[in-house]
Chain A
């Protein structure tokens, strides 16, 4: 390792420069946020699991017409079953059951895009937890009703 004095000084200087960077960082404030004590703002376009949106004309009903387009288009087959019925005096079907198996969903957004009645949207639920796999099979109609009662 034959070193010329200039190479030696340059090398030593680079080592000291590196030390300076870490020392400066030592005294600077931290850039991390202490989750869960500090919660971060979730962007409105965040892709959590899908949820049913209210019908544009009648906010009490969900907008799904149980056509089955999302079921056919889902690449992973995550939408297990959609059933609906046509109630008295209404022009179209309303969904009564919408089973989503979230364990295989890849949040691609194809169901949201292809829905002809714009009834699906993304929710902002990101901290889901459960003890068994069945905890992640959601019935979106029931979730919709629960949200309606809560508001």
Chain B
């Protein structure tokens, strides 16, 4: 063991251990979130969610995973094979890269890149690409309509996302996530920038394609949107990517606005996870309460409401910082 570390160097060893940890965490997170979503949905609808498989249905996600793995890997006839096969794999790349720079605790960060947030934002734009590949490669009208909607939606909501994060970056003079968390020692940024927090939260719900912005997979209109033609493990990959994405955006919100891993008594990572999962609960809560927003209303909301507000916020912040 020491021989391997002495060959590679301490930094590389730490990074490899971190990557393995991240992969394990991603899988665990997906399992927990599938169970939590069904339980939260159940209780909000005055019923119990899963209960048969294991106590309180805790083993349900594993049963689902085994079922999905056991399905036939079916490729429809006329699909564009390279696009169709690559899409579910490619949708995971952005989320995994984003995990590298998130500070779970003061010392639990795979690599503290000094342009951390830029890495996350740049890679999260790639999710759009893989959705478009899935929609086009499926050779199916419903999938295509869903993919087109998703592209327009993601592009429209990237801008307010950026604009909502910029004031925080301006206040801390740094892109590094660790520095942003450390800068919240005295006061969390949510009290200084409440509007930015709201805008960021709304746009992140839109970025992850969750209700009320879930037109790309509008079940009652388009069967299943861009993942109509996927079944079995490929569908599971889309599903897992969505849940991991939800966790990532909550983690970023916690890092930027809610003080990251800071908090009294309990170790940092516990606070981080508590805060992140609370925001994940809020995202699920939104899904089970609201109907879907129509497509043109969605774009209007972004271009005519969120972007001007975010710009205003940015200007005011910039002005106040100069004084």
Q: Do A and B come into direct contact in the complex, CB within 8 Å?
A: yes
> A22 and B44 in contact (CB under 8 A), knowing A1-B300, A15-B290, A34-B51?
yes
- Contact check, A25 vs B45: say whether CB atoms are below 8 A apart: yes
- The interface residues of chain B, by DSSP majority, are classed as helix
Seen from chain B, the residues whose Cβ lies within 8 Å of a Cβ on chain A are 40, 42-48, 51, 285-286, 288-290, 297, 300-301, 304-305
- Contact check, A26 vs B305: say whether CB atoms are below 8 A apart: no
Task: Report the minimum CB–CB distance from B259 to chain A (whole Å).
Answer: 24
- Contact check, A28 vs B301: say whether CB atoms are below 8 A apart: no
- Contact check, A22 vs B289: say whether CB atoms are below 8 A apart: yes
Chain A residues near B297: list those with CB within 8 A: 1
> A22 and B285 in contact (CB under 8 A), knowing A1-B300, A1-B301, A15-B290?
yes
A15 to B290: give the CA distance in the assembly, Å.
Answer: 8
Identify which of residues 21-78 in chain A touch chain B, using a CB-to-CB cut-off of 8 Å.
21-23, 25-32, 34
Chain A residues near B285: list those with CB within 8 A: 19, 22-23
Chain B residues near A3: list those with CB within 8 A: 305
* Minimum-distance CB pairs A-B, first 4: A32-B47, A22-B289, A31-B46, A1-B300
Choose one: B44, B48, B301; the contact of A26 (CB below 8 Å). Answer: B44
Chain B residues near A32: list those with CB within 8 A: 46-48
> A30 and B43 in contact (CB under 8 A), knowing A1-B300, A3-B305, A19-B285?
yes
> Is A18 at the interface (CB under 8 A from chain B)?
yes
Task: Report the minimum CB–CB distance from B42 to chain A (whole Å).
Answer: 8
Chain A residues near B300: list those with CB within 8 A: 1
What are 14 residue pairs bridging A and B, where the CB atoms are less than 8 Å apart in the complex?
A1-B300, A1-B301, A1-B304, A1-B305, A15-B290, A18-B289, A22-B44, A23-B285, A25-B44, A25-B46, A26-B44, A30-B46, A31-B46, A34-B51
- Contact check, B305 vs A30: say whether CB atoms are below 8 A apart: no
- Contact check, B305 vs A19: say whether CB atoms are below 8 A apart: no
Task: Report the minimum CB–CB distance from B68 to chain A (whole Å).
Answer: 26
Chain A residues near B304: list those with CB within 8 A: 1
- Residue of A whose beta carbon sits closest to that of B42: A30
A23 to B285: give the CA distance in the assembly, Å.
Answer: 8
> A21 and B289 in contact (CB under 8 A), knowing A1-B305, A26-B40?
yes
> A34 and B43 in contact (CB under 8 A), knowing A19-B289, A22-B289?
no
Choose one: B40, B47, B290; the contact of A31 (CB below 8 Å). Answer: B47
A30 to B45: give the CA distance in the assembly, Å.
Answer: 8
A21 to B45: give the CA distance in the assembly, Å.
Answer: 10
Task: Report the minimum CB–CB distance from A138 to chain B (whole Å).
Answer: 32
Chain A residues near B288: list those with CB within 8 A: 22
- Contact check, B290 vs A30: say whether CB atoms are below 8 A apart: no
Chain A residues near B301: list those with CB within 8 A: 1
